[in-house]
Amino acid sequence: MRLGTAIFLFLFPVGFSLAADEGHSHASQQPVRSQNAKVSGEEASRNYFTDAVLFNQESQRVRFYSDVLKDRVVLISFIYTNCTDACPLIVHRLSEVKDRLGEAFGKQVFFVSMSVDPARDTPQALAKYARQHKAEHPGWVFLTGDKANVDRILTRLGQYSEKPEAHSTMLLAANVGTRHWTKVGPTASVAAVAAKLQDLALESAAANRPGRPVGSRQD
């Protein structure tokens, strides 16, 4: 597995900044421009991350961007159920982060664990894995699906590898609504990861973007 070590900012190649609307003097047109920019940004994000269909650990069909990412603060991890070394440690560390977040978890911050081995990781296998590792919590979704869909999403997230055992242990933290993404290395402390997620959640509060239950379908 490829190990990372730090927390740092990165941007995906989509329109993550709405700064182009700043500095205009026609105040009466600002709400229209702001709304148009929001829609344009959401469309760009959806096109990039895709609405490929996946399945959660409850065998529910979800769309990746619209049902899992949109307007949420998320911490994305990459695991597979036959992993016996790093993956259980990652899940255990995430459980500690969850505890550190307290009531914010499942309301303001959500966890997404993506399988990198969809051929073997059925929804039932992910549900069993979550039970075994005490990761059955509202606000924590495990995802699998058709290999082509999973591989496409992993590629867009910069986390694709041909062999599951070669996958990265890097985490991705994001405020999807504000298009602020950060890589989190597996050696980052629980306190540092929780603090980063809390900072990202504050951006949502400032933008008045309430979260939705993660992995729930939005019709």
Radius of gyration of the chain (CA): 17
> pLDDT tens digit string along 108-160?
999 999 999 999 999 999 999 999 999 999 999 999 999 999 999 999 999 99
Q: Select from 122, 148, 126, 162 the least CA-distant residue to 2.
A: 162
- Of the candidate ranges 3-7, 188-192, 196-200, 204-208, the one whose mean pLDDT is the lowest: 3-7
Q: How confident is the model at residue 215 (pLDDT cuts 50, 70, 90)?
A: low
pLDDT(210) > 80: no
Question: Facing residues of 73 across strands?
Answer: 109, 175
Annotated domain spans of the chain: 7-12+27-207
Average pLDDT, the chain: 84
Q: DSSP state, 105? A: B
Span 191-203, mean pLDDT? Answer: 97
What's the topology of domain 7-12+27-207? Glutaredoxin (3.40.30)
pLDDT at 41: 80
Distances (CA, A) of 34 to 21, 28, 108, 191: 7, 11, 24, 35
Tally Cβ neighbours within 10 Å of residue 110: 24
pLDDT at 54: 99
pLDDT(9) > 60: no
The residue among 67 and 6 whose pLDDT is bigger is: 67
